[in-house]
Structure 1
Amino acid sequence: MKIGIVGVGNIGSIIASRLVESGLLEPSEVILSNRSGEKLRIFVEKGYRVARTAEISDECDALFLCVKPQDSEKMFLELGRVDDKILISTMTAVSIDKIQKKTGARRIVRIMPNVPAMIGKGLIGACRSEDLNDETWKMCLKMLSCLGTVVEIKEEQMEAVTALSGSAPAFFFVIVEALIDAGIRMGLSYEKSRLMVLETMAGSAELLLKLENHPGEFRHVVTSPAGTTIEGIYTMEREGIRGALMKTIQETYLRALQLKEQINGQIGG
């Protein structure tokens, strides 16, 4: 199987790397197309192949479309008709219907990965066109699993996925940085504070994933009457941390909806 990737920016580069690092494909089975030849150089040195966008579909069974949504119109013109190909799009707000009309393809998947996909630990929201059958879907899921955990969603939920998992790593990084700084303020070294925060977060997440309890159950396990933890929780509630986090996600979601409207207005029919 040969895979093409149109657009080798941040997400395209991650997909190209993970397809090979995971053992799914050899470098020679991944064909890349990008406006900037400089970004392709490092991949060429590793044995990847390159092609012009107008030619990339000739040898590929499936194509990842990883350009910025505002560049999609130009890409569609260069790509032309690819009726018989499987298309997997990372383009924000560019709908399955739009991709079908522009390319003639019927078997289409839209995905929203997040940055932990760099190490195969991402969360990938994915939806598919009606013409993509279960057998092909399973094949796509196997391929996408090199990026992390795949969650099937409805296309109209894409903006929610953008807010909750696509953007959320940035919010986690802000929280992690604040907790590390708290450790430094109490006299711990940066290295020890960082290790304690990251291992505590990773262990807590793993506990929730494995045992599937509601987070509140474990919160009460840690919280003793008149102890240190309840004092910290009281402070979080008093400072409105819960509401601030919920508002952060909601505002991100509303911005995603706004961008969707803008992009749809820019892209022709």
Structure 2
Amino acid sequence: MKKIGIIGIGNIGSAIVRCVAPRSEFFLQHCDIDQALADALAEETGSKSVPLDRLLETSDIIVLAVKPQVLPSLYSRLSETTGKAWISMAAGITLDTLRTHLKATSIARIMPNIAASIGRSITAIAFTPQSDASFRADAEKLIGSFGTVFPLDEGLFGAFTAISGSAIAAVFQFLNGMALGGVKEGLSYRAALDIIAETCLSAVHLVKESGIHPEQLASQVCSPGGTAIEMIALLENRSFKGTLIDCIGAASRRSRTLEANVR
């Protein structure tokens, strides 16, 4: 059984522990600067809270779940650890940078989103060319325990960060805005939110299962002179799609800027 060590148990790190700990494929241990938090998570999940030195010594795969601004302060200690495979979720820190500072070759870079907390993240992953098949399989199995694995060229991580890691916040805003519209029309907020959330789920399933282009599905909903075309006309007049495209572009540019700044 492979030993997985997770350094850092913030929102995403702790979510991964909660999803992975019940699985029998891995032995899970973790550490954090907040020892009380680490101990509480171990008691909750059955994982093991250990000191950093112990984690580095005994883990087969080490997951770096710390903020990108924290990671450079750990490089000197981490680079002393040899023969390990590494998975980093530090935003903006490239595989080349990790390979240089960790003095290692088997490295994966991942980008999960907040839905990892319920095991429903979509997570991009890219590997160094030197990563062997065994590590790749273990890494994808680990990531699959908290959602869907999406192998991706590292050069597209900025776009992925925008359309998944960041865009999920826009989806929350969309849900809230639609629910508030329902409130304005007389529904309770809870009822309106439940309705629009289920509507979004049904729309997603229809897109995925039918394979029909979203534009075509929208046109099927719009009857002449009806309510749906009234809504779509207002959205088009206010550049709804153009605004979404610009939002993805802005987040992607910001991701690339941050990546350039932390090299």
CA distance in 2, matches of 1:82, 1:145: 26
Shift of 1:9: 1.1
Output aligned runs, 1:115-154, within 5 Å: 115-154=114-153
Output aligned runs, 1:149-188, within 5 Å: 149-188=148-187
Output aligned runs, 1:203-222, within 5 Å: 203-222=202-221
Distance 1:78 1:53, change over 3 A: farther
Aligned-pair identity (%):
28
Shift of 1:133: 2.3
Where 2:157 maps in the other structure, the secondary structure is helix
The corresponding residue for 1:15 is 16
The gaps in structure 1 that reach 5 residues or longer are 265-269
Structure 1 vs Structure 2 CA RMSD: 1.5
Where 1:70 maps in the other structure, the secondary structure is coil
Where 1:73 maps in the other structure, the secondary structure is helix
> Contact conserved, 2:21 with 2:47, CA < 8 A, in 1?
no
> Contact conserved, 2:124 with 2:157, CA < 8 A, in 1?
yes
Shift of 1:135: 3.6
Shift of 1:64: 0.4
The C-alpha deviation readout for 1:73-115, integer Å capped at 9, x for no partner, is: 1122232333321101001111112212222221110000001
Do residues 38 (structure 1) and 36 (structure 2) align?
A: yes
The C-alpha deviation readout for 1:127-175, integer Å capped at 9, x for no partner, is: 0011112343122211110121111111111111111101111100001
Do residues 96 (structure 1) and 95 (structure 2) align?
A: yes
Which portions of structure 1, spanning 4 or more consecutive aligned residues, are displaced by more than 3 angstroms?
none
CA distance in 1, matches of 2:42, 2:138: 27
CA distance in 2, matches of 1:247, 1:206: 26
CA distance in 1, matches of 2:260, 2:218: 40
> Contact conserved, 2:140 with 2:149, CA < 8 A, in 1?
yes
- Which deviates more from structure 2 when the two are superposed, residues 207-216 or residues 229-238? 207-216
The gaps in structure 2 that reach 5 residues or longer are none
The corresponding residue for 2:56 is 57
> Contact conserved, 1:62 with 1:86, CA < 8 A, in 2?
yes
CA distance in 2, matches of 1:75, 1:173: 34
TM-score normalised by L of structure 1: 0.92
Where 2:129 maps in the other structure, the secondary structure is coil
Aligned residues: 261
Shift of 1:227: 1.3
The corresponding residue for 1:242 is 241
CA distance in 2, matches of 1:161, 1:241: 21
Where 1:84 maps in the other structure, the secondary structure is coil
- Which deviates more from structure 2 when the two are superposed, residues 51-60 or residues 235-244? 51-60
